[in-house]
Amino acid sequence: MKKNYEIVLFDLDGTLTDPKEGITKSIQYSLNSFGIKEDLENLDQFIGPPLHDTFKEYYKFEDKKAKEAVEKYREYFADKGIFENKIYENMKEILEMLYKNGKILLVATSKPTVFAETILRYFDIDRYFKYIAGSNLDGTRVNKNEVIQYVLDLCNVKDKDKDKVIMVGDRKYDIIGAKKIGIDSIGVLYGYGSFEEISESEPTYIVENVESIKDILL
């Protein structure tokens, strides 16, 4: 029997929109300030996880330098990179369907809330979401499970109601975060997580395209 999910959480980058151009150009700008030259195609790993952690993991930056790198990233991103972005084809129509069918839609992203709100307004899809939750600009609430818990608290979701909640995301961080909180998940393959990454994190469902999301949720 098909489960009826009433509350649907969406990741932003690589799930609702394709932010590749803006994020990779912002990272390239940041790295340049440290004398590091990188081609844009080598920077996809920055799409999805917290930036601070990714600078530390891939470039071995210590904590202070990683924070400086994030600040440099934001110089470009806030001005230009935020709009070097595109919504996935058919996503707006699916959000409209879910909304009209009474689903409560939420955003849970590691991107700062203020940037997430701007992007969703830019694509005119902010109206579908009851709450848009992201990280804080000071670097707190960046882990996906923290963001998920925060937005569920805003909705007053109790433990007994978690079987009605599902997270949709394109990276292992989304799936692992959902598991930590105790909710189901959909891993999407059209974003920036490989099939291996998604399957190894063991989501409840895996879908290849945007249209397949509605087959699970409607």
Q: For this structure, is 11 an active site residue?
A: yes
Q: Which of 11, 18, 170, 184 is catalytic?
A: 11
Asked whether the beta carbons of 22 and 94 are under 8 A apart, the reply is no
Q: What is the pLDDT along the chain (218 residues), one digit of tens a residue?
A: 789 999 999 999 999 999 999 999 999 999 999 999 999 999 999 998 999 999 999 999 999 999 999 999 999 999 999 999 999 999 999 999 999 999 999 999 999 999 999 999 999 999 999 999 999 999 899 999 999 999 999 999 999 999 999 999 999 999 999 999 999 999 999 999 999 999 999 999 999 999 999 999 99
Beta strands in 3-154 (DSSP E): 7-10, 17-18, 86-87, 104-112, 129-135
Question: Where does a domain end: 50, 65, 83?
Answer: 83
DSSP state at residue 85: -
In a domain, 2, yes or no: no
Compute the CA torsion angle 49, 177, 191, 138 (nearest 10 deg). Answer: -30
Burial of 131 per CB tally in 10 Å (0-12, 13-18, 19+): middle
Residues 95, 161: one domain? yes
Whole-prediction pTM value? 0.95
In a domain, 1, yes or no: no
Asked whether the beta carbons of 49 and 59 are under 8 A apart, the reply is no
User: What's the total number of domains in the chain?
Assistant: 2
The domain of 103 spans 7-18+86-217
